[in-house]
Structure 1
Amino acid sequence: MSLSTAELIAQRQPGHSLPRDLYCNQQTLHDDLEQIWYREWVFAVPACEIPKAGNFATLQLGAFPVIIVRGGDGRIRAFHNVCRHRGQRLCAKASGSNPKLVCPYHQWTYDLDGRLLYARDMGEGFDASKYGLKPVHCIDLGGMVFICVAKVPPAVNELAQNLMRYLAPSGLSDAKIAHSSTIVEKGNWKLVMENNRECYHCGGAHPELCRTYSDDPLMTVMEGPHSASNEILTHWDRCDAAGLPARFVNAPDMQWRMARAPLMDNQESFTMSGKAAVMQRMGSIPWNDAGSLMFYHFPSSWNHFLPDHAIVFRILPISPTETEVTTKWLVHKDAVEGRDYDLAKLTEVWLATNDEDRRVVEENQAGILSPAYEPGPYSPRQEAGVIHLVDWYCATMASRLGLQSAAE
């Protein structure tokens, strides 16, 4: 008889990878969705993806199809992508633009604020005001749109204040999507995020990325705004002098963190040459070699914001052993492909890195599926970020599944 998710978490060994079923069990995925994905803020899209009234984007969050749309008043809202008539999905496309939201089944028509405007032949006494689209909590934090399908979302004030301040110099309101890529990795969502949270594997797996991004843990391990390697501290001092937010800041439970870190050898961008990929710079960052503002947020996102472009990543669980990974490259809205940037040079490092990570995660999952798998120890030096993730996951799940002792 298999153990429950709560029992597996209660028995897990701190500082080690998780028990097998937490990475491949259908019941665990159900519990992860119910206790984390349906209760936390999840990164959805960059706001610049829907810059005009009527622009929309959709996503599938577990069982919930969601549509994010910009209204005529300029406000971004999210709704359950479900018609209030007979449940048809309103928008099947990943993105697009419509002056109204029209159900393709029977043409029930909704305003961009969710109000039902038209429902043909519904009879006397039909009250359209009772059949507006069901809202989803939605917030734009400095150009990154987050959603939450819970009835009551968690507090977001501390994240909002920090993220909006740190993102302001990147000028995301004046950005556009240069390229978007979506792949499916045949691995559990936690393995996808674990792989992102360490560079122990980078030297052997990512030759393109390691041209500019150091796999030395001292270049990414930060314990506070004044606790990091000398190289990072020097970089932060330089940023402070220019009024550029850079120092490490994080949630107490490490659900999110952000800091600006230099690239190797004062290089400028994630390119094969190390030089900027886009001539038209973003925002007001004062130097080409300002490094990357790195921001992650559990469970759904990691991101890099550079002086010339930004790269945002979103993961969504599909099944116990499948995860959708979407990457978007943002450039200044006035940048012209072929003049200000070459798309291949802009995207080649992270397209290669994403595919390399896909293979790593899939092989990781294949090994964990073996009955011979047992949890192994993390490296405190190389895998501190993974420990943060797994500790956050276990504490959150334990608390919500009623296992306070396991959460402590």
Structure 2
Amino acid sequence: MTNFCPAPHDDPLAAARHEVAESLRQRRPNFSLPQPFYNDARVFAVDMQEIFEKEWLFAGMTCEIPAKGNYMTLDVGDNPVILVRGNDGAVHGFHNVCRHRGSRLCLHEKGKVAKLVCPYHQWTYELDGRLLFAGSDMGENFDLAAYGLKPIQVKSAGGYIFISLSDAPPAIDDFLATLEHYLEPYDMANVKVAVESSIVEQANWKLVIENNRECYHCNGAHPELLNALQEFDDTDDPRATPAYKALVANKQADWEVQRVPWQLKRFGKQNRLTRTPLREGTVSMTLDGKAACQKLMGRLESPDMGSLRILHLPNSWNHFMGDHAVVFRVMPLGPQQSVVTTKWLVHKDAVEGVDYDPEQMRKVWDATNNQDRRLAEENQRGINSKAYEPGPYSGTYEFGVIDFIDWYSERLQENLKENAPPLQMVQG
């Protein structure tokens, strides 16, 4: 009898990879995932290796590192990363790991440096990653050129910075070109972060994204947000009312005159852009629906621009209005813990206390983020129960969640297949 089994190898997650792939192959379409996908440490490790270390991730905004030597850091699981503006004006990305003995180089979330200097033994790197100094004790034959920082993939478009830890990440250029086009009216080279927040949610990252991808819960959970936000964001939504469709037609005519892109654009199930009106009589996501910033973004002439909604899986959703924008980044911290970072953007010349009040600007999304945190955490607590089993999604209200879970399942299976060990014949 001849059986097939994985060849011996050193991957401690080999069994978990096999179990994950088999579970996804057998999963019931349009249902939530089996319990381990939301709380198991081994499945989380597979997520990190096969999704967060291989896909393109939203990392931050180019306006956060505007000049030579400005840097920002973030952690992709156990992988600390640096993004730095180089002497050439380009954004460079590196593993935040010294090539001497592995210490982190940059210890703060943001800063400005002339060179990248390791705080442990002062090995010094150029902003393009080249090792410049390692001290005289390494010997006269030591080759500086062999110990530059290890780079990561970086692409920028429309003021966004995307990174991938993969040597061969998936194609993203078509989405980036469209993102650049849709954000042209905002002049993203001339924006700044007015205020930001980070909250830790005791929930798996997929629950955070699932919660965002539907507004089924909005009526019962988000009174502040629904002062301005429509529950649906395009006329293809099966719940869209005739009044909403009429409002969309009127606003689209206005946006056309202003040469502002509004058409719904999809790039598979991973990326999506669409401009949709806010509730009639409101122009911004504020408690009173009025503009939060008196200086409009870019070349826009009216605050009444609705919301340009931008989705990028696995870790970002965004709202661009006429007066300000709100961008969101999700990063996993553990099987049942995630951090959600929110940044409010305004025109770089807007003056705090004159053109905008940051506390007023952030109130709606501070409330909404906290409400969503509670929902995701209660979702996690229920899923941890022995009573949990996958439940059905609503095709009417939760089609966005279905798309996300389908994308996740497809990408994870594809990446696992690429990483699968060879098979060997075993006689027995």
Partner of 1:16: 31
Q: Does residue 337 in structure 1 map to residue 352 in structure 2?
A: yes
Partner of 1:238: 254
Q: Does residue 131 in structure 1 map to residue 171 in structure 2?
A: no
Partner of 1:155: 171
Partner of 1:406: none
Q: Is the 8 A contact 2:296 2:302 kept in 1?
A: no
- Matched to 1:175, the amino acid is V
Q: Which of 186, 201, 225 is equivalent to 2:217?
A: 201
User: Partners in 1 of 2:232 and 2:96 — Cα distance?
Assistant: 44
CA RMSD of aligned residues (A): 1.9
- Normalising by the residue count of structure 1, what TM-score does the alignment of the two structures yield? 0.94
Partner of 1:7: 22
Partner of 1:26: 41
Partner of 1:380: 395
Alignment of 1:243-262 (within 5 A): 243-251=259-267, 253-262=268-277
Q: Does residue 99 in structure 1 map to residue 137 in structure 2?
A: no
Alignment of 1:67-146 (within 5 A): 67-121=82-136, 122-146=138-162
Q: Is the 8 A contact 2:64 2:193 kept in 1?
A: yes
Q: Is the 8 A contact 2:233 2:276 kept in 1?
A: no
Q: Is the 8 A contact 1:266 1:289 kept in 2?
A: no
**Which sits farther off after the overlay, 199-208 or 211-220?**
211-220
Measure how far apart 1:361 and its partner are.
Answer: 0.3
Alignment of 1:26-45 (within 5 A): 26-45=41-60
Q: Is the 8 A contact 1:199 1:217 kept in 2?
A: no
Q: Deviations over 1:219-245 (max 9, x none)?
A: 68399xxxx944334433332232111
User: Partners in 1 of 2:294 and 2:254 — Cα distance?
Assistant: 23
Partner of 2:317: 302
- Matched to 2:212, the amino acid is N
SS of the aligned residue for 2:327 comes to strand
Q: Is the 8 A contact 2:233 2:275 kept in 1?
A: no
User: Partners in 2 of 1:199 and 1:240 — Cα distance?
Assistant: 28
Q: Is the 8 A contact 1:180 1:328 kept in 2?
A: yes
- Matched to 2:37, the amino acid is L
- Alignment CA distance shift 1:221-1:70 (3 Å): farther
User: Partners in 2 of 1:138 and 1:202 — Cα distance?
Assistant: 35
Task: Give the gaps of 5 or more residues in structure 1.
Answer: 404-408
Partner of 1:358: 373
SS of the aligned residue for 2:152 comes to strand
User: Partners in 2 of 1:260 and 1:331 — Cα distance?
Assistant: 18
- Alignment CA distance shift 1:232-1:28 (3 Å): farther
- Matched to 1:50, the amino acid is I
Measure how far apart 1:266 and its partner are.
Answer: 4.0
User: Partners in 2 of 1:222 and 1:114 — Cα distance?
Assistant: 51
**Number of corresponding residues:** 398
Q: Deviations over 1:287-334 (max 9, x none)?
A: 211111100110010011111111111011111111111111111111
Q: Is the 8 A contact 2:238 2:396 kept in 1?
A: no
Of all paired residues, the percent bearing the same amino acid is: 48
- Alignment CA distance shift 1:193-1:73 (3 Å): same
SS of the aligned residue for 1:389 comes to helix
- Matched to 1:129, the amino acid is A
Task: Give the gaps of 5 or more residues in structure 2.
Answer: 1-14, 419-428
Q: Deviations over 1:372-391 (max 9, x none)?
A: 01111111111111111011
Q: Deviations over 1:196-227 (max 9, x none)?
A: 0111111111111010002257668399xxxx
Q: Which of 242, 265, 275 is equivalent to 2:290?
A: 275
Structure number with bigger Rg? 2
Q: Deviations over 1:324-350 (max 9, x none)?
A: 111111111111111110111111111
SS of the aligned residue for 2:393 comes to coil
User: Partners in 1 of 2:250 and 2:23 — Cα distance?
Assistant: 44
Q: Does residue 221 in structure 1 map to residue 246 in structure 2?
A: no
- Alignment CA distance shift 1:220-1:43 (3 Å): farther
SS of the aligned residue for 2:280 comes to helix
User: Partners in 1 of 2:311 and 2:181 — Cα distance?
Assistant: 15
Partner of 1:389: 404
Q: Is the 8 A contact 1:280 1:340 kept in 2?
A: yes
- Matched to 2:145, the amino acid is S
Alignment of 1:279-290 (within 5 A): 279-290=294-305
Measure how far apart 1:398 and its partner are.
Answer: 2.2
Partner of 1:176: 192
Q: Does residue 48 in structure 1 map to residue 63 in structure 2?
A: yes
SS of the aligned residue for 1:402 comes to helix
User: Partners in 1 of 2:238 and 2:19 — Cα distance?
Assistant: 35
Partner of 1:347: 362
- Matched to 1:366, the amino acid is R
User: Partners in 2 of 1:392 and 1:290 — Cα distance?
Assistant: 30
